[in-house]
Amino acid sequence: MDTRPKLFIDTNVCINVANGTILRDEWLEVCRHIETRYSYQVSFITLKEVFIKLARGEDSYFEENKKPLFALCEPSPRQFLPYPPVYLLRTTLGRHSVARSSPQGVPEETIWETDCKAIFSASSKAKLKQGVPHPDKPREIWSFDLDDFDRHENEPQVGHVDQLQGIRNGRVKMPDPMRLAASMMEDCGQTPDPESCRKITQALDAAYKFLCGLSKLAENKAANLEKRKTDWGDAMQLYYLCDESMHFLTFDEKCRNQTQGSTQQDRILLYKDIVRSL
């Protein structure tokens, strides 16, 4: 059993590796550090954002746009994480049967791993949608529609902006932690109870502080809320910190600053600090 602490990386790390902001030799050294010190995890949110970058790119740039995905999957071995609320309920409440529905009838984290391998072998989005040999079962065909994935997984971000707009207009209030916990349980098909909600609120300490900061921002009439779409993903990344062994590696100091006072803040690691320590 692997007793090392866990670590996942933010999308901005993958982008900076892909565009050369992070030099290759430096990244390989960071990868070695991760592989030695941590059990490497692939966040669904990071994976989602990298997939969406592929979905929205032109086919002529398909190989170039794979680079962030290569960076995300480079540390090895890796374990793919499920949707953050699912991971939260499994970790906090021990409800290991909680899962998002999958048309293939297998865990979504298994699907994402297969999708990554299929993307690496596909020559274009069109080929990927049409189908490529299954990475692990060559006699079978595996297809993945990136555009459909984008449409489906972008809905929560649109809803997030609408909620911020509602806070600004006074028609929506930031839910208290217990209500937020209850809503999450209901969304995952679970019946809320006070004790479970209490455990969830404790496990969401950093995420809730981050969300409270966004609510205050929404009250600023000068703030462009449309540009805050990606903040939904930032908040969801922090859900994974419900696992006391989990660490989050990012370039974004905002995540640290907006979780001030959280007991989970010290597990949000800044990339520059990791490099400085090597």
Q: What is the mean pLDDT of each run of 10 residues along the chain (278 residues)?
A: 92 97 97 97 96 92 96 96 95 93 80 95 95 91 93 70 63 75 92 96 91 69 61 87 97 88 94 93
Residue 100 has a pLDDT of: 86
Nearest to 200 by CA among 239, 151, 256: 239
* Per-residue confidence (pLDDT) for residue 159, from 0 to 100: 61
Domain count, the chain: 1
Residue 176 included in any domain: no
Is 190 inside a domain boundary?
no
Distance, in Å, from the CA atom of 179 to the CA atom of 184, rounded to the nearest integer, reads: 9
User: What pLDDT shows up at residue 217?
Assistant: 62
Bridge pairing between strands 78-80 and 132-133: unpaired
> Is 123 a member of any domain?
yes
Q: Is residue 267 part of a domain?
A: yes
Q: In one letter, which amino acid is 190? A: Q
- pLDDT value of position 242: 97
The whole-number pLDDT of residue 92 equals 96
Position 261 in a domain: yes
pTM above 0.85, yes or no: yes
Token pair, residue 215, equals 């609510």
Q: What are the two backbone dihedrals, phi and then psi, of residue 259, each rounded to the nearest 5 degrees? A: -115, 25
Residue 207 resides in a domain: no
Which helix (H) or strand (E) is 80 found in, with range?
strand 78-80
In a domain, 167, yes or no: no
CA distance 26 to 208: 34
76: DSSP letter: S
Closest Cα partner for 9 from 75, 56, 67? 75
Q: What is the pLDDT of residue 210?
A: 84
State the residue range of the domain holding 139. Answer: 6-153+233-277
Look at residue 169 and tell me if it is in a domain. no
